[in-house]
Structure formats: C-alpha cells, structure tokens
Amino acid sequence: MILLGEKISEMVVKTTHGEIKLPYEGKWFVLFAHPADFTPVCTTEFVAFQKRYEEFKKLNCELIGLSIDQTFSHIKWVEWIKEKLGISIEFPIIADDLGEVSKKLGLIHPAKGTNTVRAVFVVDPKGVVRLILYYPQEVGRNIDEILRAIKALQISDEKGVAIPANWPNNELIGNRVIIPPARTIKDAAERLEKIKKGEIGGFDWWFAYKSI
C-alpha cells in the first residue's frame, strides 16, 4: 500500500476519457475509488463531486474516479446519471477491471469484500501523496472536507504553517493558522516576547498563531 509522503507510481490508465497518464503533470489531483457503478451511495458521491468540480479546478486540482468495473459500465452509469438526475459527469473514471491499479494502491481490502473500498488519495503537483482517506461501503464521503483539506495543504505549503482542526472555523483560533513551534531555547524566548507584545497570537511558545 502506498503511504503518505511517497510518490505515486507513473502509470497509464484506461478511463472514460481514453488513456490518461498519472500523475498529472504540474497539477494536484484527487483519485477516489468507489465500490461499484449503479449503487446508491456511489451515485450520491459522483453527483457531489461533479457539483463541486469547478471549485476543485480553481485549486488547480483534477478529479479522477476508479472502480474495478469495465469501461462500458462506467459509460452507461454516467449516461444514467445524466438522463435520470440531470447531472453531466465531466471528470474521467478509471476502468480497473484487471485490478492492476487497485493492487498498486491497496484499494481492495479482503475483509470488506472483493470490490474497491471507498478511498481517497490527494496527490500534489510533484506526484507525492499528501492525504489518504478510507471509508466503508456503507458511509459516503464528505466532499467538502476533501476540498477543505486541499485548501489547507496548499496554504501550508505556501505559508509554511500548520492548519488547526475544523479550519477555518477552529474553536480556539478561528480562521488563523498555527506557526511551527520554536526549535531552540532562544527561539522559544523570542516567540514568547512576540506574544506578549501582541505581534502574534499564542497560548505559549509552542502554540502560537497568526492570520493569513
């Protein structure tokens, strides 16, 4: 199974949009696996992803789905969603009917059956896996949380900060972000002084924060 911080293997996958080379060059992407086409929870997820597709693209992030169904099944399901629900699925879906991608990414968990689990991989423009989520078949994903996590990762990379729980609505510091802890005794003393002067917010030298 691929782990956080590792690079995703280069691969060419067959999708509803033809062959695609992964990772995407110079872009973030979300690769999400679903158990099967023509299932209720997965259908709600695909609609939710599509409804937010423009928000993902604003973050320079592509979406790509995956299951072990064949391409024709994906195509028919996408047609059904458009015909019955009025939603056009614009992102590609990998047809991993031979299970090659699923094996590389650890998407089949024997204790949960032979289908791909409900997994999410967020990959950065360098091809590095930055976030992994797993859900059981009976629980659908929160797509807004995936968007939030990508925004948080991008801010963390750009500003060199950490992101608190429930950001941007954290119970302690609101929409502020966490300054990395001091690395030396001198830095700690200087950090405390800045907090006392009100130059930055903080509860202690190891828990300081600021606005962005």
Catalogue the active-site residues.
Answer: 42
Q: Which of 63, 36, 42 is nearest to 52 (CA)?
A: 63
Task: Please report which residue ranges of 52-205 form alpha helices under DSSP H.
Answer: 53-58, 71-80, 100-105, 143-159, 185-197
Q: Please state the separation of Cα 121 from the chain's center in Å.
A: 5
What is the C-alpha to C-alpha distance for residues 119 and 68, in angstroms, rounded to an integer? 13
Q: What is the dihedral of CA 199, 203, 208, 212, to 10 degrees?
A: -70
Q: How far lies 81's CA from each of 43, 67, 78, 181, in Å?
A: 8, 17, 5, 49
Pairwise CA distance, residues 169 & 181, whole Å: 21
Cα(26)–Cα(11) distance, integer angstroms: 16
Q: How far apart are CA 153 and CA 130, in angstroms?
A: 8
Residue pointed to by tokens 């939603």: 87
